[in-house]
Structure 1
Amino acid sequence: MSRTDELLIKFLLKETSTEEETEVQRWIAESPANEAYYNDFKKIWDSSKKLEPQVQLDEQAAWQRFRARTSAVEKKEALVVPLKKQNYSWLKIAAVLLLAAGAWAAYTLFNQSSYIDIKAGEQVLVKTLPDGSVLTLNKNTDMSFASNFTQHRSIHLKKGDVFFKVTPNKEKPFVINIDQVSVRVVGTSFNIKHLNKQTEVIVETGIVKVSRGIESVELHRGEKVLIQDGTGTLTIEKNNDQLYQYYRSKVFVLNGTPVSRIVEVLNEAYASNIVVSNPQIGHLTLTTTFKEDSLDHILQVICLSLGLKTSKDEGKIILSNQKK
């Protein structure tokens, strides 16, 4: 039995010290997986209490079998759990049950076969999950959701760009895990983009909690957080960029948008390779809207508006200043 399991038993017996109680609470809050693991422990514990008057067990034999299985671990790391005398038999029964439950919970939570893959190829994909939540996946997005999703609303986003419209359910929070980042909601709409070790969360409606380790922030409508390679602090910013919507709206909304950002989105949307000839061009801004336009027409408007021109070289489309 691991030290974590022993601490959880002690915690459920309400016999932890102040330091141990803080340690357990911090561990539970670290990740949705930890919280689910603890909830499984508690369910088995509560169930065992209900069954006590009806169950006749050879407690001594059960306890000896349990001790034999954990003795190897205890030689390396022993944790003394002071127990009240009247609760001792309960610990023996619950420990045996929790050992089996812990193995089952770990398998359910971490076995890859318990998640169903969703991959968007060269087309935007709209997917309705078993709880009624609707996801819009941008091209080349790779993610998965729990096979028992109506009970465990958990998603793993490996890479890509997804807009979530989550069906409200206060009893079963909706959790997305992205590397070291966790996003937790009840019912809301928001966009997550995870590419090149960078994660961006933008909220359209409701409240979204974004966590990394013990640090967390709450985002409201019109706010975003950008996390670079799992480093830095979680800083809330106002979102004034509507280009993140392009793959589901098919509209490019520019509002004082720098050319560098326009080029980034166009390359992503059209699988093109547009570059600027010098950094100063990237700082130029443009305000307009393109609705289901071709790349050639968009570039033509950009050039006419900003005094630029395009040229092609080895698969690149180069934006440069027009010669005066």
Structure 2
Amino acid sequence: MMTDELLIKFLLKETSDAESELVCDWIAASPENLNHYSQFEKIWTTSKNLAADRPVDVEQAWVNFRQKAAGGSKPVVMLLNPLAKWSRIAAVFALVLGAWLAYTVLRPENYKEILAGNTVKTELLPDGSELTLSKRASISYAEDFKDNRHLKFQKGSIFFNVAHDKSRPFVIDINEVAVTVVGTSFHIRHLEGETEVIVETGIVRVSRNGEELELRQGEKVLIAETTAELVKARNTDQLYNYYRSHLFIAEGIPLKRLTSTLNEAYNVNIQIPDEQLAAEPIYTTLKAEDGLAENIKTICRTLDLKASMNKDQISLSRTK
């Protein structure tokens, strides 16, 4: 069970490696834990600015804080020994009480949005982490990001190169899914009710509804809204990397996967009515700079297909 004492110690950067790992694992275990930690961290950050001129009885402050945090429904009894090593932490709790009082009147946490238009966008976050956003991708990050590395993923494909900071996990919320890392590089795609996470370097923890799995280099997970569990697999292609490499590399992937990526890249609607054709493997490499029309021609030549237009929809079918 996670204790507030250990969270305070973690925020003070006084935890051992084992304790830091325990806290990071706990944060990644569920959205509720992440929520609690984010709130606790905000209280702690605010306390630094409030506590200097706020003389408080340490033991009573901690009791009041715990009652306030619990909604005041249950009395809390806790005795602190001022001569023990916890006296320092008790003093920190006094700061936290002052912060809690301020927190009740603070406005909800603000986020800054990063939005890519019709071009791929690279963004450097305040902690030194670098994001590469595909066209029309969007994500938001907390205004106090240096202390609270928390993001909300809206849509699109984004590649993350995260700055290493073991004391402050890098957390991305995607609806019910949470992705937690310390320092690593990985890709996330969130479109049409599906979330895909692919790890290039390091370790990424993905959690959903209390279930968690750990992804390492070359591993991925694909999560649909109707997915009951998290299942990881080996990543076997480089198609996901198109917005960084400017190449659509298809090495035996289903045609449907390639056309879905083209839909995202060119903001079009390519459909394959024949399910058997949609699952057919394709081997080709397309250049983004060649444009949609030329790349559709290459696909048709490769698989002996024809393309037809119906309003704003492109339909692919067999020639025979």
TM-score by length of 1: 0.74
Per the TM alignment, residue 162 of structure 1 is displaced from its structure 2 partner at its CA by 0.8
- Specify which of 299, 302, 315 is matched with residue 302 of structure 1: 299
Code of the residue aligned with 2:302 in structure 1: it is S
Cα RMSD after superposing both structures: 3.9
Separation in structure 1 between the aligned mates of residue 256 and residue 125 of structure 2, nearest angstrom: 36
Aligned length: 289
Mapped contact 2:128–2:163 kept (Cα < 8 A): yes
Question: Paired residue for 2:318?
Answer: 321
Q: Distance in 1 between matches of 2:242 and 2:295?
A: 14
Distance 1:321 1:107, change over 3 A: farther
| 1:198 and 2:194 correspond | yes
C-alpha displacement of 1:45: 10
Q: Which residue of 2 aligns with 1:286?
A: 282
Change (3 A) 1:313 1:36: closer
Cross-structure match for 1:16: none
Q: Tell me how far 1:57 sits from its aligned partner.
A: 5.8
Q: Secondary structure at the match of 2:277?
A: helix
CA–CA distance in 2 between the matches of 1:45 and 1:82? 23
**2:99 matched to 1:101?**
yes
Gaps of 5+ in 1: 1-6, 13-24
**1:35 corresponds to:** 37
Instruction: Please state whether the residue corresponding to 1:170 is helix, strand or coil.
Output: coil
Displacement of 1:112 in angstroms is: 4.0
SS at match of 1:123: coil
- Work out which structure has the larger RCO, using CA pairs closer than 8 Å and 6 or more positions apart in sequence: 2
Identity, % of aligned pairs?
Answer: 38
Contact 1:267–1:273 (Cα < 8 Å) also in 2: yes
Distance 1:92 1:250, change over 3 A: closer
Aligned counterpart, 2:11: none
**TM-score, normalised by the number of residues in structure 2:** 0.75
Structure 2 residue 124 is matched with structure 1 residue 141:
no
Report matched runs for 1:189-228 at 5 Å: 189-228=185-224
Structure-2 separation of matches of 1:106 and 1:55: 17
State the alpha-carbon separation in 1 of the partners of residues 149 and 179 from structure 2. Answer: 12
Query: 1:144-155 to 2 correspondence within 5 Å?
Result: 144-155=140-151
Deviation at 1:147, TM superposition (A): 2.0
Deviations 1:15-41 (A, max 9, x none): xxxxxxxxxx97895333322434566
Q: In the TM superposition, what are the counterparts of 1:189-268 in structure 2 within 5 Å?
A: 189-229=185-225, 231-268=227-264
1:69-218 paired onto structure 2 within 5 Å: 74=72, 77-79=73-75, 81-84=76-79, 98-104=96-102, 111-113=108-110, 115-218=111-214
Question: Which has the higher Rg, Structure 1 or Structure 2?
Answer: 1
Matched residues in 2 for 1:210 and 1:43: separation? 27
Distance in 1 (CA, whole Å) between partners of 2:98 and 2:268 is 54
Structure 2 counterpart of 1:100, which letter?
G
Mean Cα deviation higher: 309-318 or 180-189? 309-318
C-alpha distance in 2 between matches for 1:27 and 1:166: 18
Structure 2, gaps ≥5 residues long? 9-24
Distance verdict in 2 for CA 1:308–1:38, change over 3 Å: same
Query: Cα gap change, 1:173/1:92 in structure 2, threshold over 3 Å: closer, same or farther?
Result: closer
Deviates more, 1:90-99 or 1:25-34: 90-99
